[in-house]
Structure 1
Amino acid sequence: MGESKSRGELAEIRTTLAALASSGGHSKSETAVTAKRDVFKKIINYITIGIDMSSLFMQVMTCAVSSGEDVVLKKMLYLYITTYAQHNPDLTLLTINLLTKDCKDQDPTIRGLALRSLCQLRVANLVEYIMSPIQQGLRDAHPYVRRTAVMGVLKVYHLDESAVRNAGMLGTLQEMLTGDKDAQVVANCMSVLQQAGAGHTLVSRSLVIPLLNRIKDFSEWAQCQVLEAVSSYRPASEQEVFDIMNVLDDRLLHSNSAVVMATVKLFLHLTLAMPPTHQQVLERVKDPLQTLVSRDQYETAYAVLAHFLLIAQRAPILFSQIYTTFYCRQNEPSYIKSLKLDILAAIADETNAFEIATELTEYVNDIDEQLARNAVKAVGRIAIEVQDVGGIVERLLGFLETGRDFVTAEAVIQLKDLLRRYPAIAEASLSSVSSITPEDIVEPEARAAFVWILGEYGQNIQDAPYLLEPLAEGFAEEAVPVRLALLAAAMKLFFRRPPECQKLLGSVLAAASSDTNQDVHDRALLYYRLLQHSVREAERVAGTPLPAISHFSEEQSSELRDRIFDEFNTLAVILRAPSATFIKAASASIDEDEPDPPLVASGAAVQAPAVDEGSALLSMDEQEEAFIDTSNGNSPAQRPQASAAHASASSSQSALDDLLGLSSALEAPAPAPARPPALSLDPQPSLTPSLFQGKWATLQPAQRFTVPLPPSALANIEADNHQGFLQSASSMGIATMASGGKAPVFRFYMYAKPQVKAEFLLVETIVDKSAGSATVTIKSEDASSVPAFADMYRSCLNSMTRTAALGPALSGGWRLDK
């Protein structure tokens, strides 16, 4: 019913257009123009709600040609044309004459509108018809037409770059930068040149000085563009720096925050090589930045505060006296408060640390849990950085008694870091720690920190072994970081308080040796074998007190902050990371815009790489079994000459088990971690390229991982047109769909099919020689097969590594390359 109604309305519009074009076509009366406007408005309304009106193309064109110079009708006509241009290139060709003719109209508004519509056709084979109107528009007397023509250059540039360069349009835009009288035309020229990769031409003195002299004529957005371009300019002398800063000084007081931040960036970058002047600039920009923060625009305030933090980290002394500016207000959102706490911690020194810590203590009692956590964290950082101010550590210890579990947890974590930096404060701090029980701390990170403190300073905490016993009894229920910390703590306490910790260490080692987590399992075996080998060596390795540290790995280095400072007034400052860490090139994939990679010829004989059966290589499982068996006095090869040593080891092990109360807990090999079931692949899978491409485009990645490869393995993969790698994969049932690329990046698209399932496994491998790694992406409609297939594919890559590494040895000795 609705479709028939639409068809009836479409027929009615077609009839109305035909009537207006024939009977009243040449009438320029107000009634005729109004009627045409009404029908054109109806057409545009239907286009807006998604109804296809392209079938009226000829009637619309016929009616529009007779519309005279009515600007409203022209606008609606141009909108109709540009809407259906790309969908109907043949019909669009009919509009070229109309648009070209209108580009020469006496009315500059119609000339500009026609030129803009002509450039918006975006049909590649019509570029030759657009070049001449654009060149005429660049020389037009009216600024609106010139502005439109400049932006038209960029649109054509994206369609046909060579046509724009051959016509010399970029050179024309460079001349217009200094020669055109209209500021918006100059701004458009600058924007187009930057996007066309010719932005380096903007940094010469002959262009910079004229742009700065007329900075006030530009719009706010254009001013930001000018300031951004000038920030990469290097003045020839200090006097020129001062001249530029004098011209732009009033931009620091601009009402637009983007203009202010662009000016601040320019001032800071210009004076980097002038330390005294740079210091004065930092003093100068404080007030404008504070003004921006004080506004009630929280998004702008957050961006400005992020830059405040970056500057404060470089020169904290400049902001130490205005610390009250960064106190939190009740009505501020949490993200603003969090950033202010970071700034307060960064600018704290001997003169203001106590006052700042007092303010932060008030925030700890706030109902906002995240704010309370961040406040505790900030007090901890201040205590680490400003150690000479009394009362800071006491405030941190006071947080342990608040009765709020998340505050206690965060305080324990900060106290652990404080003890790592200043072990001397342990004597004054441990009495507060001893009043806590494991039940008071719920979060795994905090429990691990609590266990670390007990292990590192257990000789000074009377109840340390007894506080650890409940954790040892529930060892399997603890998180992995807590289990690892408990292993280390029990080991250290055993050497400092042997009688009390003998049973504790035995129970922890017994529980950890049967743990399914590989790290916990291996750590327990390491400690056990150290004790079996030599108690003195075990104490030297695991029982030595840790030295004080001067820098935490979580802290940003000065080099990283300098890189972020180079990208001032960008997203890098907000994210606190250089842009290279979050702006990456589009990942390689098979799509319609990329040419298909060269297909590897099928049907070639596939042969598995030769492996020396007599080599001493063992799999990881075999190595672990051999290691465990050796610890029990049973060599996997049962060497007769080692029987005496094994007997001695067995005796030593028995004594150690009796000492720790292990009985025979470690005599049997520990169970290997759970592995995915073995996967059996179809040795000859079959998949067409079109089906592969369709599946790859629709499926989401099921697993992605990166495998490091040594140079020898990379060379082996690249050699002989990748045949070694492709044959190794084929021997496992992994077929190659496409492979190719140019050094240093090679791409492989492969697929496999489990024998018992119908779904295919698709895999993309990007080998980057410069990074020394292979990035693997696996997709499948059945995710259950992906883990086992991922292990199989890793083994394929590892086989290349082993083959490459053993090549010289298997060939009989060293070889001198010519």
Structure 2
Amino acid sequence: MSDQRLFSKYKAYEIKSELQQVNLKKHRISAVKRKNALKKIIANLTMGNFNEMALLFPDILKFWQIDDDVEVRRICHHYLVAMGPTKSAYLKDALQLVLKDLDSGTEEVRIMALRTLSSIPSTDYLNEAFKSVKSVLQSSASPRLKKTAIHAITKLDQSDHNRIWPLLNILRRLVDEIKEDSSVQAHALYVMYRIHEANEDMKMMTLERDTCFRMLEMLPALNEWDHSLVLESMITSYAPQTHSEAHHLIEIVLPQLQHVNTSVILNALKFIMYLINYVDYLQEGLIKRLSNSIVTLLNKPPELQFLVLRNVILLLLSREEPLLKVDVSYFFVEFNDPIYIKDTKLEILYLLAKHANLSQILQELKEYATDIDIQMSRKAIRAIGNLAVKLEHSASECVAVLLELLDFGVEYIVQEIVSVFKNILRKYPGQFESCVDKLVQFTDSVQEPESRSSMIWIITQHSSYLPNYLELFQIFSSNFQDETLEVQFSILNSSVKFFVRSPTEATEKLCVDILRYSTEKIDNPDLRDRAFMYWRLLSAAQQNNGLPLSIETVKDIVDGDLPLITLNTRLDPQVLEELELNIGSIASIYLKPVSQVFRLNKTKVLPKSPALNLDRDNIDIIADSSSTRSSSVVDLRFSAPSRTSSSPIKKMDDYDKPAEKVNSLKTKKRSSSSAVKLTRKPSVLARKLSMRRPFA
């Protein structure tokens, strides 16, 4: 049956007629028609056609009783779960069929019945669900059925939280049981972790020391998804009591950084970042392995790559001494990167920039600025301006690149450069005034509100260097009524500054005209109030009616010294702590506390321990061959539980290289013409640049 016919809204009598036309005992084709009719019911439920489909409850119960086909049973259970919140009168009859499936059905049918019982918010169903889940967990049922019962506890917790405690005790016994199936233990640990995490009235889940080590050492016996569950559940569940324990746990988890599954790698990375808070030093080899695992993930699909890149930003922001040492070329933008990848790579290049690699990064940003993608070009220019503010000793190099780009005279490049120069001139007063003459030559080219406001600010602050500053300012003030509110504020402020600096006839006329227009013809209350405030100040200073207010005092108020701007690249330590405990989650993408992204989530904190390092920025990073730490590295093996001492700790001697190199085009020399051609489609600006070079 085509999907178009299946996903069409039907009346109840239409589907009922199809079901009645089917002879259940006659031909095999009848079973196919019956399933198609039942599939239409599920499709209509998916589309929200509940009122019509609710009329078919008796027909569903009829087929449930007489048909043993697994697919038909699955459809019946699906229908019952969808109808559960409606409080239909047929729910009690359906309950007997569900219990019958749970007692005498095959394993597949029993799993369906268990899921159905825990999904319907009815008292009768919940009572049976609690009994059934407890019975399955305490019996010798198959691991698959036990895992279904374990995950049913999560749904039961949402329906009746007060009755969940006995089931949690059973889960803890399953986790502590040595002979229990390892996959069952992994899922029991994960469900316990999730329930404790979701409920504010529960304390943080804690594990025994022996249980923690045993769960980690059974990782090789688990599949990749169970790997991920165990590693995620370990976060905050056990706090190492000594530095040696933390080092030992890191050694156990390190091999998981080379796993194929992205979820395993991210959870291993998150667990190691958690353990780093309990160590007294870090080895350079560990930093290298963390970095190589990140490089490996950069070859994943764009969605996963974006998640990894956002977490790279988190790690770069987290400490004064970054926990990653990755060559900047891995974060160069490729021509086929989605825009969200490009933006994130630009942020990382900004964070990684320092004097040693600035020339390499500037050359790359210069190429982006002349790219055919206008949005990318703007962001690259903005990044160059931010680097000039960030790196004081290298600001002149960034300014030189911006001035070179300014020579193109392309409108959007000029406007972006003017906007970033405002911050540069504020950061370095008296250092780059020679650039002002060149900037004001493009006064007619700035059309966007931000760039117009920036140009007005530049003209105003450097009017002493510009003999014709009033003529330049007239370009903006003559169209005051047509400007955006942001630009109108800038014109108003500047006109008053010109007057208090030099109260001449020209500046007085300019100031009075702007004030009169702002107070009489402007509807915006904020702009009008600002103009009235300026007018009262100037009037009080000129009248001097016994008030200690002079024109110099007004000048200090209106045109005082501006504070130097700084770009803060550090996040709040508490926010960083929470984000590190949520690496790989949506919260880490937004770089915001989890409570701001998911209001119902409980905030994670580091468990208290004698080994907890409260000064996260001052952890020593030592060489791998350091003799001063060799004794403690050996001692940590003896600090492990006795049951794990017989199994050697897995090493990563052959894991010091990424599994797969990425950005292969970028690893080539930048002088290679083929690499440049493959990396980016040349734009008109790039060709213009190449034409300029012979005449430079």
**Same fold per superposition (TM over 0.5):** yes
Residues in 1 aligned to 2:496 and 2:298: alpha-carbon distance in whole angstroms: 52
Matched with 2:404 is 398
2:591 matched to 1:576? yes
Alpha-carbon distance, 1:299 to partner: 0.9
2:304 matched to 1:300? yes
Q: Match for 1:383 among 383, 388, 396?
A: 388
Q: Does structure 2 retain, via aligned residues, the 8 Å contact 1:137–1:146?
A: yes
Give the 3-state SS of the residue equivalent to 1:90 in structure 2: coil
Residues in 2 aligned to 1:216 and 1:358: alpha-carbon distance in whole angstroms: 46
Give the 3-state SS of the residue equivalent to 2:133 in structure 1: helix
Q: Does structure 1 retain, via aligned residues, the 8 Å contact 2:331–2:348?
A: yes
Kindly provide the CA deviation profile for residues 25-62 of structure 1, in whole angstroms up to 9, marking residues without a partner as x: xxxxxx78x57744642442331343856666566656
- After TM superposition, list the pairs within 5 Å mapping 1:416-815 onto structure 2: 416-437=422-443, 439-499=444-504, 501-514=507-520, 515-532=522-539, 533=541, 534-549=550-565, 551-552=566-567, 561=576, 564-584=579-599
Matched to 2:248, the amino acid is: D
Alpha-carbon distance, 1:304 to partner: 0.8
Alpha-carbon distance, 1:246 to partner: 1.3
Q: 1:537 to 1:12 in 2, by over 3 A?
A: closer
Kindly provide the CA deviation profile for residues 758-804 of structure 1, in whole angstroms up to 9, marking residues without a partner as x: xxxxxxxxxxxxxxxxxxxxxxxxxxxxxxxxxxxxxxxxxxxxxxx
Residues in 2 aligned to 1:133 and 1:293: alpha-carbon distance in whole angstroms: 46
Q: Does structure 2 retain, via aligned residues, the 8 Å contact 1:380–1:414?
A: yes
Q: Does structure 2 retain, via aligned residues, the 8 Å contact 1:564–1:577?
A: yes
Alpha-carbon distance, 1:129 to partner: 3.4
Q: Match for 1:229 among 229, 233, 239?
A: 233
Matched with 1:47 is 41
Structure 2, unpaired ranges of 5+: 1-7, 197-201, 542-549, 602-696
Q: Does structure 2 retain, via aligned residues, the 8 Å contact 1:43–1:53?
A: no
Give the 3-state SS of the residue equivalent to 1:423 in structure 2: coil
Residues in 2 aligned to 1:234 and 1:60: alpha-carbon distance in whole angstroms: 52
Q: 1:477 to 1:73 in 2, by over 3 A?
A: closer
Alpha-carbon distance, 1:7 to partner: 4.2
Matched with 1:146 is 146
Matched with 1:171 is 169
Q: Does structure 2 retain, via aligned residues, the 8 Å contact 1:115–1:149?
A: yes
Alpha-carbon distance, 1:340 to partner: 1.0
Report the aligned-residue RMSD: 3.4
Matched to 2:110, the amino acid is: R
Identify which range, 491-500 or 128-137, moves more after superposition: 491-500
Alpha-carbon distance, 1:451 to partner: 0.9
Give the 3-state SS of the residue equivalent to 2:598 in structure 1: coil
Residues in 2 aligned to 1:380 and 1:47: alpha-carbon distance in whole angstroms: 60
Residues in 1 aligned to 2:93 and 2:508: alpha-carbon distance in whole angstroms: 94
Residues in 2 aligned to 1:36 and 1:88: alpha-carbon distance in whole angstroms: 32
Matched to 1:579, the amino acid is: V
Q: Does structure 1 retain, via aligned residues, the 8 Å contact 2:290–2:324?
A: no
Alpha-carbon distance, 1:255 to partner: 1.2
Q: Match for 2:332 among 327, 330, 339?
A: 327
Alpha-carbon distance, 1:121 to partner: 4.4
Matched to 2:140, the amino acid is: D
Matched to 1:147, the amino acid is: K
The structure whose Rg is larger is: 1
Matched to 2:535, the amino acid is: Y
Q: Match for 1:311 among 307, 311, 315?
A: 315
Identify which range, 419-428 or 127-136, moves more after superposition: 127-136
Residues in 2 aligned to 1:493 and 1:332: alpha-carbon distance in whole angstroms: 48
2:371 matched to 1:355? no
Give the 3-state SS of the residue equivalent to 1:312 in structure 2: helix
Alpha-carbon distance, 1:5 to partner: 10
Alpha-carbon distance, 1:16 to partner: 5.3
Q: Does structure 2 retain, via aligned residues, the 8 Å contact 1:317–1:347?
A: no
Alpha-carbon distance, 1:511 to partner: 2.7
Give the 3-state SS of the residue equivalent to 1:388 in structure 2: helix
- After TM superposition, list the pairs within 5 Å mapping 1:264-303 onto structure 2: 264-274=269-279, 276-277=281-282, 281-295=286-300, 297-303=301-307
Q: Does structure 2 retain, via aligned residues, the 8 Å contact 1:512–1:521?
A: yes
Alpha-carbon distance, 1:78 to partner: 4.1
Residues in 2 aligned to 1:156 and 1:208: alpha-carbon distance in whole angstroms: 27
2:214 matched to 1:210? yes
Residues in 1 aligned to 2:454 and 2:9: alpha-carbon distance in whole angstroms: 69
Matched to 1:143, the amino acid is: P
Q: 1:338 to 1:130 in 2, by over 3 A?
A: closer
Identity %: 23
Give the 3-state SS of the residue equivalent to 1:277 in structure 2: strand
Identify which range, 314-323 or 345-354, moves more after superposition: 314-323
Residues in 2 aligned to 1:158 and 1:338: alpha-carbon distance in whole angstroms: 39
Kindly provide the CA deviation profile for residues 134-187 of structure 1, in whole angstroms up to 9, marking residues without a partner as x: 33222133222222222333333333333444xx22211111123263334223
Give the 3-state SS of the residue equivalent to 1:351 in structure 2: coil
Matched to 2:130, the amino acid is: M
Q: Does structure 2 retain, via aligned residues, the 8 Å contact 1:150–1:192?
A: yes
Matched with 2:665 is none
Alpha-carbon distance, 1:379 to partner: 0.4
Q: TM-score, normalization: structure 1? A: 0.63
Residues in 1 aligned to 2:450 and 2:261: alpha-carbon distance in whole angstroms: 44
Q: Does structure 2 retain, via aligned residues, the 8 Å contact 1:451–1:489?
A: yes
Matched with 1:779 is none
Alpha-carbon distance, 1:89 to partner: 4.2
Matched with 1:655 is none
Residues in 2 aligned to 1:526 and 1:60: alpha-carbon distance in whole angstroms: 76
Matched to 1:407, the amino acid is: I
Residues in 2 aligned to 1:224 and 1:72: alpha-carbon distance in whole angstroms: 31
Residues in 1 aligned to 2:220 and 2:383: alpha-carbon distance in whole angstroms: 43
Give the 3-state SS of the residue equivalent to 1:546 in structure 2: coil
Structure 1, unpaired ranges of 5+: 25-30, 587-818
2:152 matched to 1:136? no
Residues in 1 aligned to 2:481 and 2:515: alpha-carbon distance in whole angstroms: 12
Alpha-carbon distance, 1:350 to partner: 1.0
Identify which range, 557-566 or 329-338, moves more after superposition: 557-566
The aligned length equals 567
Kindly provide the CA deviation profile for residues 629-676 of structure 1, in whole angstroms up to 9, marking residues without a partner as x: xxxxxxxxxxxxxxxxxxxxxxxxxxxxxxxxxxxxxxxxxxxxxxxx
Q: Does structure 1 retain, via aligned residues, the 8 Å contact 2:287–2:324?
A: no
Q: Does structure 1 retain, via aligned residues, the 8 Å contact 2:186–2:226?
A: yes
Greater share of strand: 1
